[in-house]
Amino acid sequence: MLRFLGKRLWEGMVTLAALVVATFFFMRLAPGGPFSKNRKVSADVLEHIKASFHLDEPVWMQFGRYVWGLMHLDFGPSLRFRDYSVGDLIAAGLPYSLTIGFWAIVIAALVGVALGVIGALRRNGAADYLAGTVGVIGIAVPIFVIGPLAQVVFALKLAWVPVGGSDQGWRSLVLPVVVLSLPNIAYISRLTRSSMIEVMRENYVRTARSKGIGGRRVLVGHVLKGALLPVIAYLGPATAGIITGSILIETIFAVPGIGRHFVDAALNRDYPLVMGITLLYGGLLILFNIATDLVRGWLDPKVRGHG
Amino acid sequence: MARSLSTFRLQLRRFAANRLAMVSLALLVLIALGCFLGPYAFPFNGEDADFDFISAPIDFGSPHWFGTDDFGRDLLVRVLEGGRVSLSIGFLGALTAGGIGILYGAVAGYAGGRADRLMMRAVEVLYGFPYVILVILLSLLFGGGNLALFAAIVFTLWLTPAVIVRAQAQSLAKREFVEAARAGGMTPWSIVVEHIVPNCASVVIVYGALLVPEVILSESFLSFLGIGIKEPQASWGNLIETGTAAMDTDLRLLLLPGGLLAAVLFCLNFIADGLRDAFDPNDR
- Selected residue of A16, A28, A145 to mutate for chain B interface (largest B Cβ count, 10 A): A145
| Cut 0.95: pTM above it | no
Which residues in chain B have Cβ-Cβ distances shorter than 8 Å to A144?
220-221, 224, 237, 240-241, 244
Contact (Cβ atoms closer than 8 angstroms) between residue A227 and residue A209: no
Which residues in chain A have Cβ-Cβ distances shorter than 8 Å to B137?
22-23, 26-27, 30, 266, 274, 278
- pLDDT, one tens digit per residue, over B150-206 is 888 888 888 888 888 888 888 887 788 888 888 888 888 888 888 888 877 777 777
Position B284 confidence tier, pLDDT thresholds 50, 70, 90:
very low
Whether residue B252 is predicted with pLDDT greater than 80 in this model: the reply is no
List of chain A residues with pLDDT < 70: 36-40, 166, 214, 301-307
Please tell me which residue, A204 or B46, carries the higher pLDDT value.
A204
Residue of chain B minimizing CA distance to A10: B125
Q: CB-hemisphere CA count at 13 Å for B165? A: 35
Distance CA B241, CA B235 (A): 10
Whether residue B228 is predicted with pLDDT greater than 80 in this model: the reply is no
Whether residue B80 is predicted with pLDDT greater than 80 in this model: the reply is yes
Chain A residues within 8 angstroms (CB to CB) of chain B: 11-12, 14-16, 18-19, 22-23, 26-27, 29-31, 136, 139-142, 144-145, 148-149, 151-152, 156, 240, 243-244, 247-248, 251-252, 262-263, 266-267, 274, 277-278, 281-282, 285-286, 289
pLDDT of residue A301: 67
Which residues in chain B have Cβ-Cβ distances shorter than 8 Å to A136?
266, 269
pLDDT of residue B58: 67
Q: What's the mean pLDDT when you consider all of chain B?
A: 79
Give the number of A-B residue pairs with CB atoms closer than 8 Å.
Answer: 119
Which residues in chain B have Cβ-Cβ distances shorter than 8 Å to A31?
143
Distance CA A85, CA A130 (A): 48
Task: Using CB atoms, pick whichever of A152, A243, A285 lies closest to residue B247.
Answer: A152
What percentage of chain B exceeds 70 in pLDDT?
86
Q: Domain A94-306: which topology?
A: MetI-like fold (1.10.3720)
Position B144 confidence tier, pLDDT thresholds 50, 70, 90:
low
Q: What are chain B's domains?
A: 2-39+68-283 (1.10.3720.10)
Domain ranges (residues) in chain A: 94-306
Whether residue B54 is predicted with pLDDT greater than 70 in this model: the reply is no
Which residues in chain B have Cβ-Cβ distances shorter than 8 Å to A197?
none
- pLDDT, one tens digit per residue, over B212-221 is 888 888 888 8
Residue of chain A minimizing CA distance to B247: A152
Query: Which DSSP state fits B65?
Result: T
Q: Please state the rounded mean pLDDT for residues B88-97.
A: 88
Position B64 confidence tier, pLDDT thresholds 50, 70, 90:
low
Closest approach of A72 to chain B, Cα-based (Å): 23
Position B280 confidence tier, pLDDT thresholds 50, 70, 90:
low
B265 and A142 within 8 Å at the Cβ level: the answer is yes
Task: Using CB atoms, pick whichever of A27, A266, A282 lies closest to residue B128.
Answer: A282
pLDDT of residue A89: 83
Please tell me which residue, B67 or B190, carries the higher pLDDT value.
B190
B240 and A244 within 8 Å at the Cβ level: the answer is no
Residue of chain A minimizing CA distance to B216: A142
A140 and B266 within 8 Å at the Cβ level: the answer is yes
ipTM above 0.90, yes or no: no
pLDDT of residue B66: 65
pLDDT of residue A79: 73
Task: Using CB atoms, pick whichever of A18, A26, A251 lies closest to residue B137.
Answer: A26
Task: Using CB atoms, pick whichever of A30, A140, A262 lies closest to residue B141.
Answer: A30
Whether residue B56 is predicted with pLDDT greater than 70 in this model: the reply is no
pLDDT of residue A266: 80
Whether residue B1 is predicted with pLDDT greater than 50 in this model: the reply is no
Residue B232: phi, psi to the nearest 5? -80, -5
pLDDT of residue B281: 57
Whether residue B283 is predicted with pLDDT greater than 50 in this model: the reply is no
Task: Using CB atoms, pick whichever of B131, B137, B254 lies closest to residue A266.
Answer: B137
Residue of chain A minimizing CA distance to B134: A23
Q: What spatial distance separates the first Cα and last Cα of chain B, rounded to whole Å?
A: 21
